[in-house]
Amino acid sequence: MDRKTIGLFDPSCRRCPRLAEFREDSGRRHPGYHAAPVPAFGDPLPRWLIVGLAPGMHGANRTGRPFTGDHAGILLYETLHAIGAASSPVSEHKDDDLRLDGVRITNAVKCLPPANKPTPAEARACNGFLAAEIAAHAPRVILALGRIAHDAVLDALGLPRGSARFAHAAEHRLSTPDGAQRWLVDSYHCSRYNTQTRRLTPPMFRAVLGRAQALAA
């Protein structure tokens, strides 16, 4: 399956043997965990798309929803609610009644990676899913959480990585090979490490998400 024929999502994908084995082992060690590729979540007609890195062991890999169940999602959903893009400040699990307005959340890599670090080959293997998501939903703005997500977005859009340099709060107006015009906005990832070291503060994060929402509007 190549980038032209890949679908939006494959719930039983085994394109990356290491990731497939690791996520399935997590399910054996933690019965009841989702332990499978994690689908995107949010508005089916999004004006902007948030792209993270990959599911966390006890977060999305457990709950089946991006950024749900671990520290990284606390700030994300609180901030989305604060700017009027989420019906609640808390995301509990994939079957709660949380709704997002105008925004959708996905990951560059859909499966749990060991040590939260997919290999470059695994990121490339999963990139077709992100490309298909962007093509299907056509968001005006894409917000990348971290450098790996930033690079994955450029790859998915068919653009060289050197065409836009990652920096927190950077805004890149991109012209893609298909003639589309989109904004790529960067943010530090809302990980526990970044928030505890104050590399990323709640006001910083709210400012960049609010700016992405404004550009999308």
d(CA 76, CA 86): 10
Sheet strands (E) in the chain: 41-42, 48-52, 103-107, 141-145, 171-175, 181-187
d(CA 172, CA 201): 22
Residue partners of 86: CB distance under 8 A and separation at least 6: 77, 80, 98, 99, 100, 101
- Rounded to 5 degrees, φ, ψ at 49 are -125, 130
What is the set of domains in the chain, with CATH numbers? Answer: 17-216 (3.40.470.10)
Q: What pLDDT does 178 receive?
A: 84
pTM for the whole structure: 0.95
pLDDT in tens, the chain (217 residues): 344 446 789 999 999 999 999 999 999 999 999 999 999 999 999 999 999 999 999 999 999 999 999 999 999 999 999 999 999 999 999 999 999 999 999 999 999 999 999 999 999 999 999 999 999 999 999 999 999 999 999 999 999 999 999 999 999 999 988 888 999 999 999 999 999 999 999 999 999 999 999 999 9
- Rounded to 5 degrees, φ, ψ at 157 are -85, -5
